[in-house]
Amino acid sequence: MPEWGYSIVGLDPANTAKASGRELRISPKAAREVCAAIKGMMLDEAKEFLRQVIAKRRAVPYRRYKKKLPHRRGLQKAMAGRYPVKAATKILEVLESAEANAEYKGLDTERLKVIHAAAYPGAKIRRYMPRAFGRATPKFETLCHVEIVLEQIKEG
């Protein structure tokens, strides 16, 4: 079993809580854009945003992987967007796991902010589809790692 670390270091364990989803079967590109969208949001705001994406009421702005993407209504600063339902569902699960970890630590869930949300590619599931004349076509699927860190902000 591999030892999983986090890409963010130097956190104060007294007022932070973290959670990760490893080897998730979601698109790393879509997960990256969803994580970029929720980073910096308050916990309740991020959960509501992900629920609206799952219901296809609010689009996720695509900033890097946006070639040939159509415009979506309601986006600020970015015109291209999508509704990555599968990625938003899995990231919402990881976010709720981080919230449960924070609650277990005794942090105030009303004052939690997403300070780190990252997604990056994991292992590849390699499969081959047999074709005519003894050939084969690769059918690879890239898995994805998601990390979320919540921090309790000071009142004021």
Task: Return the CATH number at 30.
Answer: 3.90.470.10
The residue length of the chain stands at 156
Residue 37 · residue 61 · CB < 8 Å: yes
- Residue 65 in any domain: the answer is yes
Residue 124 inside a domain? The answer is: yes
**pLDDT band, residue 156 (cuts 50/70/90):** low
CA distance 103 to 17: 9
* Whether 18 contacts 11, CB under 8 Å: yes
Tell whether 112 is covered by a domain.
yes
Domain-embedded: residue 52? yes
* Residue for token pair 């780190």: 116
Question: Around 71, how many Cα atoms within 13 Å sit in the side-chain half-sphere?
Answer: 6
Q: What is the mean pLDDT of the chain?
A: 94
Q: Are 26 and 120 in contact (CB under 8 A)?
A: no
Other C-beta atoms lying within 10 Å of the C-beta of residue 154: 7
Enclosing domain of residue 143: 16-152
Percent above pLDDT 90 for the chain:
90
Structurally, the chain folds into a number of domains equal to 1
Tens-place pLDDT, residues 99-148:
999 999 999 999 999 999 999 999 999 999 999 999 999 999 999 999 99
The Cα–Cα gap between 16 and 12 comes to 6
pTM listed for this prediction: 0.93
Inter-residue contact 25 to 141 (CB < 8 Å): yes
pLDDT digits (tens, 9 = 90+) for 31-71: 999 999 999 999 999 999 999 999 999 999 999 999 999 99
